[in-house]
Structure 1
Amino acid sequence: MKLNKIGRGTLASIVSLAVGLGLTACSRDYTLAYVYVTNAKPASAGSTDGTVSAFAVDYQIGSLVPLADSPLPAGKNPVALVSSPDSQNLYVVNHDDSTVMHFAIGTDGKLYLKETTNITGSLPTAVAIDAAGKFLYVTFTYQLGPNGQQLYSPASPGPGGVTVFSIDSSGKLSPVSTVNVGNNPVAIAVSRQATIASSNTTLAYVYVVDQEAQPNATVLGFTQNVSTGALTPTPGTVITTVAGKTVATGYNAGIAPSSVAIDPSTRYVYVTDQAANQLYGYGIGTGGALVPLLSSPYTTGLYPSSVTIDPRGKYMYVTNFSSNSVSAYAIDTATGSPSGSVGSTSTTVATNPTCSAVDPALGIYLYVSNNKDGSVSGMKLDPHNGTLKQVQNSPFPTGSLPTCLTVVANGSHPNQLIIQ
């Protein structure tokens, strides 16, 4: 597999220019990026609707400043969110409503609700968008029957799936297909696009974490058709129908896999196992097949809940829900193996961290949503070794029971472009 046709020297120049331009722009605009946080419930007692909190990131110190009109209403129990690559749209997934809310992002970072769209299943769990911003993928717990009838329940589990949405030039969603997967999909990630030199075709890979009961916990791999958004199982992933039910098998991911991340070079995939307190690493082989790294799995803190990789592809961060910490790892770019020496002493955050993200503008600030504490922790990462240091005034109060967050570059600050 050969990545798109830009030389390393040119890429390095683009990255250097982006950082330089970002710093120059920051001298006139003190907002580096915006942080958006989904909150399961607002502070008012008795309400079941969630909210979205919005913050501006101060470029000098990384502190968060709440935006006017924040928080905004969301659906019932929002659990995940993702922004478009052009930083103009935000998509929020509501678990109990089985909907996706589309917000336009204003030039001032404020959110404007455009529409709410139903998914093709029930109880969604995670969301991802492709690098071109053309397709949105939402995992859901249960398939629906005719006329939207609920066929399955926790007592009678059935196939979960992935709703594939096309995205038009305004950011509007339209469901185009549904892919059935295992009985409990909980996380999804889409790789950057790559060009296959032998056939001169462009594609991307999609990986879904299926948290079924042992021994069926697995990672499922798919090839994305970049023109239609359709998903085709990669070698090693098999999805069949047995006695009227979908059965999915893929790559071993431990006992209870909980999150997934793909490195920017599209060479490695990492999956956390919250039951065994481990991190699994894979190389991406021919056709998107996953090959376990020689030293995998790796130790994490207690109950790892999410994994994220910095835009340079050099460092990886795992939030540990029960340890109230973030573990830092340096990634060996030649082998994909993460070394815990960078984060041998984990960085403490507030209570029950759920989700993390690195700012895409300069790639130096990491933010973590803390569920029980109702806050966001902000940290600055050292670009030379990946270590973390709390930013001033961290943690920052948000809504009640924050579930996840994302960071969107301010329009005056270019996103980093890193391909190794």
Structure 2
Amino acid sequence: MKFRKFGRASLAAVVSLGMAAGISACGVSNTIDYVFVTNSKNNPGQINVYYADSESGALTQIPDSPYMTSYRNPVALVTSPNFKNLYVIFHDDNTIVQYSIGTDAKLYPQHTYNTPGTFPNAVAINTAGTLLFVTDTYQPQYTAANPGPGAVIVYPINTDGSLGAPVANGNLSYYPLSTTLTNVLNPVAVNSLTQNPVNATSPGASYIYVANANASTGLGSISAFGVGSGGALTPIAGPQSDGTFAAGTTPSAIASTPRGLFLYVTDSANNQLISYTVQSSGAIIPSQNGPTRTDVFPDAITIDPRGQFIYVANYTGNDISAYTINVSTGYPTGVAAAGTYGVGTGPTCVFVEPALGRYVYTTNFLDNTVSGLHLDPNAGTLTTVQNTPFVAAGQPTCIAATPHGNHAISTPTT
């Protein structure tokens, strides 16, 4: 997941009475997912919580929604693999908050943590649910007034969902992305993957990948790390002079397939999607076919739980680009039925719900809504769901969800 600074004035959202009331056919008995949306407009920030209807994909806010937080500018969030906890990143207060998720979808704040540096902007969690990865825009000695490189922080996750002290890196509590002002790497997104082939009896190696903006060169890059059992990070050398892997001009989001075979990065400056194959060493190789075109200003990406389709949210295009993943090469090709699918204004995050993998949602920053679309699991095509869009508290930034009840999705192909 990732965050991008929003310096634009927001558009006034004109919301109909039906939309404001969250009218839909959804009841708790029909709920397949609990959906969580962070909102940055108000101070402090807010979190909307919705029920997702199993038959239509429509969203209905739970009675206590939205939840007022105690911190500013929530920009990223992730749920634990056991779906009992939600971790929210608050950019302006350098804060992580752990929320317990009730069986009725209600949120209960548990613990608050400060990151070592400033302006945390992305979060990921490992498959086992034992490690949380957070990126700080700046290392401790740097600020917006005195800018420098960023860092990755690794937190062990205790059995109750609380976070332990950051994993030590020598005498540091973080892992620098670069150490000099001649090569300033600032993170924009982070992805955690575990290579686990179908029918494997135990997970394979674990890696994290950080997409960076390079203030020194004006080019994008990816920093790759192997992840030890205790969370210690080991850099994986890339072919560039600083040990990173090339990632276009302005990387904006990053995602991997469920089995950890392929990695994808969006480049918002060049309107493209860059594809990589993940080797057993954790090194990545760009596709021989080159980047794939997106619509204007791609800034978010997700992959369906089956590992068959990629969905990219285009901020300026106000739409989603859809792609089919080649099982052998990982190369994405546009879904044949349509190049893009319209959503709200200024989509900032895109997400496929985890229960059935049948509905796609976007947070629309500029019109204060959430769009919902039905995903055809055979073709990857999208159609709008009942009563979309759905009202959000204001300037929604990102989205996550947990399944409600027992559901089974077929084994992922990639």
TM-score band w.r.t. shorter chain: 0.7 to 0.9
**Residues 1:120 and 2:116 aligned together:** yes
What TM-score results when the alignment is normalised by the length of structure 2?
0.85
- Within 5 Å, which residues of 2 pair with 1:120-139? 120-139=116-135
CA–CA distance in 2 between the matches of 1:175 and 1:28? 38
- The one-letter code matched in structure 1 to 2:263 is V
1:76 to 65, 72, 75: 72
- The one-letter code matched in structure 1 to 2:357 is G
In 2 relative to 1, CA 109–417 (structure 1 residues): closer, same or farther, beyond 3 Å?
farther
In 2 relative to 1, CA 215–41 (structure 1 residues): closer, same or farther, beyond 3 Å?
closer
Q: Is the 8 A contact 1:278 1:304 kept in 2?
A: yes
How far the C-alpha of 1:230 sits from its partner, in A, is 1.3
**Residues 1:157 and 2:157 aligned together:** no
1:396 to 377, 390, 401: 390
How far the C-alpha of 1:229 sits from its partner, in A, is 1.1
Q: Is the 8 A contact 1:87 1:411 kept in 2?
A: no
Name the counterpart of 1:334.
328
- Within 5 Å, which residues of 2 pair with 1:191-206? 191-194=193-196, 202-206=204-208
- Within 5 Å, which residues of 2 pair with 1:18-417? 29-42=29-42, 48-74=43-69, 75-144=71-140, 151-177=141-167, 178-182=174-178, 183-194=185-196, 202-213=204-215, 214-225=217-228, 227-236=229-238, 248-342=242-336, 344-413=338-407, 417=411
What RMSD, in angstroms, separates the aligned Cα atoms of the two structures?
2.1
In 2 relative to 1, CA 342–111 (structure 1 residues): closer, same or farther, beyond 3 Å?
farther
- The one-letter code matched in structure 1 to 2:103 is T
- The worse-fitting range, judged by mean Cα deviation, of 275-284 and 202-211 is 202-211
Q: Is the 8 A contact 1:84 1:90 kept in 2?
A: yes
How far the C-alpha of 1:29 sits from its partner, in A, is 3.0
How far the C-alpha of 1:216 sits from its partner, in A, is 4.2
Q: Is the 8 A contact 1:216 1:249 kept in 2?
A: no
- The worse-fitting range, judged by mean Cα deviation, of 309-318 and 177-186 is 177-186
CA–CA distance in 1 between the matches of 2:73 and 2:101? 21
Structure 1 residues 143-192: Cα deviation after superposition (integer angstroms, max 9, x where no partner): 11xxxxxx323453212101111111110012322111143101001013
In 2 relative to 1, CA 418–333 (structure 1 residues): closer, same or farther, beyond 3 Å?
same
CA–CA distance in 2 between the matches of 1:363 and 1:33? 10
CA–CA distance in 1 between the matches of 2:109 and 2:27? 31
Structure 1 residues 201-252: Cα deviation after superposition (integer angstroms, max 9, x where no partner): 9421110001123354201111111x2011111131789xxxxxxxx54111
CA–CA distance in 2 between the matches of 1:314 and 1:59? 21
How far the C-alpha of 1:273 sits from its partner, in A, is 0.3
Runs of 4+ that moved beyond 4 A = 414-417
- The worse-fitting range, judged by mean Cα deviation, of 341-350 and 127-136 is 341-350
What TM-score results when the alignment is normalised by the length of structure 1?
0.84
How far the C-alpha of 1:347 sits from its partner, in A, is 0.4
How far the C-alpha of 1:414 sits from its partner, in A, is 5.1
How far the C-alpha of 1:342 sits from its partner, in A, is 3.3
How far the C-alpha of 1:264 sits from its partner, in A, is 1.0
- The one-letter code matched in structure 1 to 2:40 is A
- The one-letter code matched in structure 2 to 1:288 is G
Structure 1 residues 18-73: Cα deviation after superposition (integer angstroms, max 9, x where no partner): xxxxxxxx99931100110000023xxxxx21111100101010100101211112
In 2 relative to 1, CA 98–337 (structure 1 residues): closer, same or farther, beyond 3 Å?
same
Higher strand share: 1
In 2 relative to 1, CA 386–94 (structure 1 residues): closer, same or farther, beyond 3 Å?
same
Structure 1 runs not aligned, ≥5 long: 1-25, 43-47, 145-150, 240-247
| Secondary structure of the corresponding residue to residue 274 of structure 2 | strand
- The worse-fitting range, judged by mean Cα deviation, of 124-133 and 26-35 is 26-35
How far the C-alpha of 1:291 sits from its partner, in A, is 0.4
Structure 1 residues 325-379: Cα deviation after superposition (integer angstroms, max 9, x where no partner): 0000000011111001436431000100000110111111001000011010000
CA–CA distance in 2 between the matches of 1:158 and 1:105? 37
In 2 relative to 1, CA 363–181 (structure 1 residues): closer, same or farther, beyond 3 Å?
same
Q: Is the 8 A contact 2:196 2:259 kept in 1?
A: no
